[in-house]
Structure 1
């Protein structure tokens, strides 16, 4: 593999991986297959591209192709690629769970709506901002005249202190 082929392979791999992450699986498959051809099936980059290819095939519901490719990758010379392929193969061969329709939540596809159609869809309408009501400023409380405050000792305070002292003394006496 020449330096130019290596760079083209890395670029195709990057574009294919980005396309997969954006949900463009067909484009991803084309770019990843191109990366495998340029890098070689047994290279590290070729192995990584094949692992992404398995995921892209599965995303397009081409399960048989994904399993066949994954089984081929399990014999890859690079150890990390082999382990990843074995992990993916285990997932692909696992039985599918049956999901009841009432357990699913349907998410409407809003990609095809243009501005004219959005007005007729109730969940696409922009919400009106509600203004928060302004609170009336409350007047400041009148200052307290300290000359009129009763500062004599309150008998209840002494009763409370005595009750707490007796309680603590009893706890210490009985060792609780």
Structure 2
């Protein structure tokens, strides 16, 4: 039994547990693993977020969970699983420089597969999903589909196929990954299948608002004109010399602004005049009464 005074002895953090032998925890029990740094306090990593009530029991996770700490083995938590950082993490930002077809005979098949994968990521980022799916498939073939890396390449392939409109093919690819030998690939594939299997949002013309721009005043070559033919105009129709005509107004509280300012309504000015007269009369009467009594 350990109470919350543990905070004074350990640095306590929380994250999901990747692997654990514990299938069920009684109320108030928390699974944890211990990380001992070279310097500083040890860290107790809680794998099930505890309630604020004290005390709590700590149960150790299996040793496998420590090997999936992303600070030590470059893993990232995606789709409910721990995936490789160079395939699903920030290292993807460096993919563009690795996108080249290796011609050196000393390059391994795994290196070739990663080059193909980076080319697929580059195509995926610009919306060329068919080309990206082809690159990912090629990377899977070179990287061994049954391996952990090959399974992660197939996750990308399924996403590219779904983005390209081939939803059934993408779902079939994820269904096959249900039996992959890597646990994280299996788990991520089922999470992706759940997401991609959500009902598609169907929108028709009634969900959009169209603004008639047939009479939008525009300027062309510094001459004001009005669009003559009817239709729907896009933003590209008003680039370069074509700008919407907006009359410049004077700066607020400037002399021009006061000159152009409309006078107040007549009823308001009359009411203000009556108020001033009433106050003046009241003051005069009060002064007369004061001098009379003095």
Pick aligned residue for 1:123 from 219, 235, 240: 235
Residue 35 of structure 1 corresponds to which residue in structure 2?
Answer: 139
SS of residue matched to 2:200: coil
Q: Using the TM superposition, give the Cα deviation of residue 98 of structure 1 relative to its aligned residue in structure 2, in angstroms.
A: 3.5
**Counterparts of 2:120 and 2:185, CA distance in 1:** 18
Tell me: higher relative CO, structure 1 or 2? Use CA pairs within 8 A at least 6 residues apart. 1
User: Structure 2 CA distance, aligned partners of 1:52 and 1:105?
Assistant: 35
Q: 1:96 to 1:123 in 2, by over 3 A?
A: closer
Q: Distance in 2 between matches of 1:122 and 1:57?
A: 30
Instruction: Give 1:6 deviation, angstroms.
Output: 1.1
Counterpart Cα distance in 2 of 1:11 and 1:71: 26
Describe the shift of the 1:97–1:27 C-alpha distance in structure 2 as closer, same or farther (beyond 3 A).
closer
The alignment partner of 2:108 has SS state of helix
- Matched residue of 1:74: which SS? helix
State which of 186, 194, 198 in structure 2 corresponds to 1:90. Answer: 194
Q: TM-score scaled to structure 1, two decimals? A: 0.58
Contact 1:12 1:34 in 2 (8 A): yes
- CA RMSD between the two structures: 2.8
The secondary structure found in structure 2 opposite 1:98 is: coil
Conserved in 2, the CA contact under 8 Å of 1:10 and 1:45?
A: no
The CA deviation string for residues 93-133 of structure 1, in whole angstroms up to 9 with x for no partner, is 33334334322468xxxxxxxxxxxxx95632133797775
Matched, 1:65 2:169: yes
Distance in 2, Cα, partners of 1:87 & 1:104: 32
- Match in the other structure for 1:110: none
**Post-superposition CA distance 1:127-147 (Å, at most 9, x none):** 3797775757xxxxxxxxxxx
Identify unmatched segments of 5+ residues in structure 1.
107-119, 137-176
Find the partner of 1:52 among 138, 153, 156: 156
Which structure carries more helix by proportion? 1
Match of 1:24 in 2: 128
Structure with the higher fraction of residues in strand conformation? 2
Aligned partner of 2:179 among 52, 75, 80 = 75
